[in-house]
Structure 1
C-alpha cells in the first residue's frame, strides 16, 4: 500500500477500535494522532479543578482549531481533571479527546 493510504487505513482501524472497544490510550498513539493539529485545552486557559468556569476556554479552543477542518482536522485534548463548562459547539473534522480521569461538568 502507498504510505498515505496505509496511514488512512491504520487511523480508521484505530478509530473503530476506540469507538467499538472503548480502548483507552494516549492521543499520540490513538485517535487524536490521526488529526494533524493537536492542542490541550489548558493552552486556552482552562483549569480542571471542578470550580473554574471554562466555557470561554473551550469556545476559544474550538474556534481556533476549527480553522484546520480542511487540513486533516484537529483534536482538543482534555487532561485528567474536572472541567466545569457551559455549552459549546463542536465542528466537523474535530476530535474531543478525554484522557482517563477527565470529566466535563455542566455548569448550572
Structure 2
C-alpha cells in the first residue's frame, strides 16, 4: 500500500507544490527554495519526505544534490487511481448492456 504513503506525503500543500515544480525538470534544493516562501532547510525537509516516499530521486553533481521526479514511484498511485476508472467503466458498460437488453 505504498500509494497510501504517497497520498499522505502529497497531502501537504507545500510538499505537493515542490513536487509539482519538479515536473519542470530536475532542481537543487536551493533553486527550489527561491520559488517558495519557506526556508531552504524547510524545502530540504520536504524533499527528504518525498525521497523517503520514493516519489523523487537525488543525484550528486559536484557539491549539489539534484532532485527529480521518480516516475516508478508514482506507478502504484497511478495503478490505484486507474482501478477506480476500470471499475467505473465496467459498471457503465453493465448499465448500458442492461439498458440495451431492456429495450429489446
TM-score interval, normalised by the smaller of the two chains = 0.3 to 0.5
Bigger proportion of residues as helix: 2
The two structures have a TM-score, normalised by structure 2, of: 0.33
Q: Which has the higher strand share?
A: 1
Structure exhibiting the larger radius of gyration computed from Cα positions:
2
